[in-house]
Amino acid sequence: MLGTILAFKKPNQMVAIIQFNTPDIEDYARLGAAINSHYCSLHGHQYIRDVYKETVIHPPVEKLFVIQRHLRSHDWVAWIDSDACVINHRKDIADFTRTDKNLITSGHEFGFDLKGQRIRVRMGKQEAGINTGVFLLRNCAWSCDFLQCWINLCKLGSEMRTAYWEQGILQWMLIKDICELQANINLINPASRINRQDFIGTSKSDRCDFILHLWGSDAKLRASAFSAISRGTMPEIPQISMPDFCVKQSQNKI
């Protein structure tokens, strides 16, 4: 069981961390949820997790409906996929909200197009490949309009069988500057600051400084990793580096 870490400064902005999963991945999703819920209690944020069988659209896209239901009740919502959890409890996710942008996510060298093909994307000199496993959205009129547009395009993409889930749609929206997205998005670089830095095609290990995102891993590895993290132990995953790992038991102090 996770212990208690004291003496965190109360954030200026209240953030709700939101997760959603269907029952078929509950074995590892509940373990990651316990870590993220505990993290929220340390920093004074709200934790929300929805679990249900019936979805309006394909489960990977259902996150958008979940966010839409909760956005108006919080200053910011932070989405974290069910195969991801916070591994640096020193870091307050609210630090990312110190921006005039409305959408915050990680900037990668590569993104995925509508057919699921890897593409290199840049905005000026900035890497602009997107991973939607972790992102923050401000409660404002722009965000509500943007979110509804994203949902509508995902529905269309699903019907046409051309979209690589919501991630490919968002990448396309960024490239085409739909909803003036380029002026409203803050791409965190390097991506490891908020998500998993993808070094595919190189000899480097992927890197996570704040949130460990186990995309592409099987359920057994995810459950094993989350179990270790809940005990304050850094999991050994050869392809991922976690230099800022900090999840400790109550008897230890950060």
Per-residue pLDDT, 7: 38
- For residues 188 and 107, the answer to whether their CB atoms sit within 8 Å is yes
Q: For residue range 100-155, list pLDDT tens digits in order.
A: 999 999 999 999 988 888 999 999 889 999 999 999 999 999 999 999 999 999 98
Render the burial of 118-136: b for 16+ CB within 10 Å, e for the rest. Answer: eeebeeeeebbbbbbbbbb
User: Which candidate, 245, 243, 224, 248, places its Cα nearest to that of 234?
Assistant: 245
Per-residue pLDDT, 159: 63
Q: Domain locations in the chain?
A: 15-190
- Model confidence at 173: pLDDT above 90: yes
- Model confidence at 13: pLDDT above 60: yes
Per-residue pLDDT, 12: 56
Q: For residue range 42-54, list pLDDT tens digits in order.
A: 999 999 999 988 8
pLDDT-derived band at 162, boundaries 50, 70, 90 = low
Q: For residue range 188-227, list pLDDT tens digits in order.
A: 999 999 999 987 766 789 999 999 999 999 999 999 999 9
On average, the pLDDT of the chain sits at: 89
- Model confidence at 11: pLDDT above 50: no
CATH code that applies to domain 15-190 = 3.90.550.10
User: Which candidate, 254, 206, 199, 207, places its Cα nearest to that of 232?
Assistant: 254
pTM for the predicted model, two decimal places: 0.91
- Model confidence at 87: pLDDT above 70: yes
Per-residue pLDDT, 161: 61
Q: What are phi and psi of 76, to 5 degrees?
A: -140, 150
